[in-house]
Amino acid sequence: MPSVLRHLLQLLTEAVDRLEQSCASKGTPIPDLDEPLDASSAAFHADSEIAEDARIIGAAAVHLAAIVTPPPLTMYSIIGGLLGSAALRVCLESHVTEILREAGPQGLTPEQISAINGQDPKKLGRFLRVLATHHIYREVEPNVFANNRVSSALDTGKSSGELSKDPATKYDNTNGFGAVVGHHLDEVFKAAAYSWEAATSASETDFEDPTKTPFNKAYNTNDKFFSFVHRPEEAARRHRLGLAMKGGQTMQHPDAVLSNHASIRLVESSYGCIVDVGGGIGTSALKIASHFPNLKLVVQDLPEVLEDAKAFWSQNMPEAITSSRVTLEAHDFFAPQTRKPAVFFLKQVLHDWPGNYCVQILQHLRDAAGPNTRLVVVDSIIRFACKDSGSITGERIQGYEPKEAPAPLLANYGAQGAMAYIGDMVMYLTLNAQERTITQHAQLLCGAGWQIVAVRQPKGDGSFGQGIEAVPV
């Protein structure tokens, strides 16, 4: 029998062969790590066949490294993560990526960068080197740094001078990915340092209390996270968080909302109404409205959120509001639901709340539901790192056939499928909430009078942003 090393090498080699053949036949260039990210290279991951082989290659490479690397060094890839995060935040907040983009591929020394952003050049050089060691930025010659494909993902496209004058609007009119990074390197990063303290000081009644989180420890507050960021003095964090929620869309398949819209067939035939509960400014509703012009949509959220929603729709689809095809409606989902639509749509809402709060939200929707109402929940479904024989999940749910990586890879593709697990940690640190397994989703919905009838999986990573369709029982 071949060794595990040889088996992994065979998987990697076969995947590289397929990837090169696919790229050649489709005219898709394989990304160059030293070149900035652009639209043509981003298309590499948009192709599902290419993306699957890329996942296998990445998973096999990490698995190989874990076998042959000394365990303390493997452990320090996790331990040292906080240090890389600290270095990355300095570069993010001081606009290093934009400064290097303006300099071009020849790069700049830390002293030249510091002359623009005012940082200590000696420390900045050390920050950049630890990041370059992990393929974020690159050291093109001794003590000279430039952008690469990874670091340029943080580029806002704005001038460094513009950002220095008005840092509060840094992520305005961008895809929001930088805002996601900024949020994680600020509130989430600081909260993470108090995970142990929060876990050891918690009583059993605190486990699902959103005021007893590591975030509460870090910021010495009794406010829930969302209440904290709505303080007047936290306007900058609140603004960035709103843009970060938009930025989360960049990490999903472009068609995730539509492929997850399990009940399109129902509303498409009847021209019924969809209520996007806790829909934020309406990012998901905009995609649905763009593809289905006969649908009526109601976007519900808190009044302060809807102020931003008005500007969002005025900029992107003003006619939908003026024609009343889309209605922006103030509503607290912890209050009774007054609408009786064909579909209730909950995208990345339940993962923000502990289970007892989720039951309240779902129960209000169940109380308003008619016999033919559908509920569509779009959230991550956490998968196991081992093979799933069905002994835990029990009877298979229609559509839920998790794509597992070929052996001997971890069934969940290891680090290549990490986004859902990182999201799960973020939910705990800030909200005492979580991402859930399919069984946990089923139990949660059942406890509020709903039964799962199908799971719809978008292309690509099957754990991130799946659609769960449920009916009232």
Average pLDDT rounded to a whole number, residues 279-297: 88
Split at pLDDT 50, 70, 90, the class of 251 is: low
Tell me if 248 sits within 8 A of 180, measured CB to CB: yes
Amino acid sitting at position 13: T
Percent of the chain with pLDDT strictly greater than 90: 71
- pLDDT above 90: residue 323: yes
> Tokens in use for 125?
């050089």
- Could you give the CA distance from residue 314 to residue 148 in angstroms, rounded to a whole number? 36
- pLDDT above 60: residue 261: no
The residues with which 451 forms a beta bridge, in sequence order, are 471
- Could you give the CA distance from residue 165 to residue 142 in angstroms, rounded to a whole number? 31
- Could you give the CA distance from residue 389 to residue 409 in angstroms, rounded to a whole number? 16
pTM: 0.90
Of 95, 184, 351, 364, the catalytic one is: 351
95 catalytic residue (yes or no): no
- 389 versus 5: which is more confidently predicted? 5
Write down the pLDDT at residue 270. 54
Q: What are the helix (H) ranges across 203-300?
A: 214-219, 225-229, 235-247, 256-260, 264-270, 283-291
Q: To the nearest 10°, the Cα dihedral for 442, 445, 446, 450?
A: -120
Write down the pLDDT at residue 262. 47
Q: To the nearest 10°, the Cα dihedral for 434, 436, 441, 443?
A: -80
Write down the pLDDT at residue 255. 58
> Tokens in use for 430?
């800030």
- pLDDT above 80: residue 344: yes
Amino acid sitting at position 426: V
Which H, E and C letters describe 447-471, residue by residue?
CCCEEEEEEECCCCCCCCCEEEEEE
Write down the pLDDT at residue 464. 64
The residues with which 273 forms a beta bridge, in sequence order, are 296
Reported as a single tens digit per residue, the pLDDT across 396-418 is 676 677 788 999 999 999 999 88
| 417-421: long-range pairs with CB below 8 Å, 24+ | 417/55, 417/383, 417/461, 417/463, 417/464, 419/251, 419/380, 419/461, 419/463, 419/464, 420/380, 420/381, 420/382, 420/383, 420/461, 420/463, 420/464, 421/382
Amino acid sitting at position 220: N
Write down the pLDDT at residue 43. 77
Write down the pLDDT at residue 353. 96
Tell me if 211 sits within 8 A of 453, measured CB to CB: no
What is the biggest distance separating any 2 CA atoms in the chain, rounded to whole angstroms?
69
- Could you give the CA distance from residue 183 to residue 120 in angstroms, rounded to a whole number? 24
> Tokens in use for 132?
């370059």
Q: What is the CA radius of gyration of the chain?
A: 23
Reported as a single tens digit per residue, the pLDDT across 438-472 is 889 999 999 999 999 888 876 655 556 788 999 99
Write down the pLDDT at residue 201. 79
Write down the pLDDT at residue 252. 65
Distances 89 to 23, 180, 189, 451, 468 between C-alpha atoms, Å: 35, 12, 10, 43, 36
| 64-69: long-range pairs with CB below 8 Å, 24+ | 64/5, 64/8, 64/9, 64/12, 67/4, 67/5, 67/8, 68/5
Q: Where is average pLDDT lowest: 59-68, 266-275, 288-297? A: 266-275
Q: DSSP state, 417?
A: G
Percent of the chain with pLDDT strictly greater than 70: 91
Average pLDDT rounded to a whole number, residues 265-293: 80
> Tokens in use for 81?
């993560």
Amino acid sitting at position 313: W
Reported as a single tens digit per residue, the pLDDT across 154-170 is 999 999 999 999 999 99
Reported as a single tens digit per residue, the pLDDT across 58-104 is 999 999 999 999 999 999 989 989 999 999 999 999 999 999 999 99
Write down the pLDDT at residue 170. 96
Arithmetic mean of pLDDT over the chain: 90
Average pLDDT rounded to a whole number, residues 99-115: 98
- pLDDT above 90: residue 119: yes
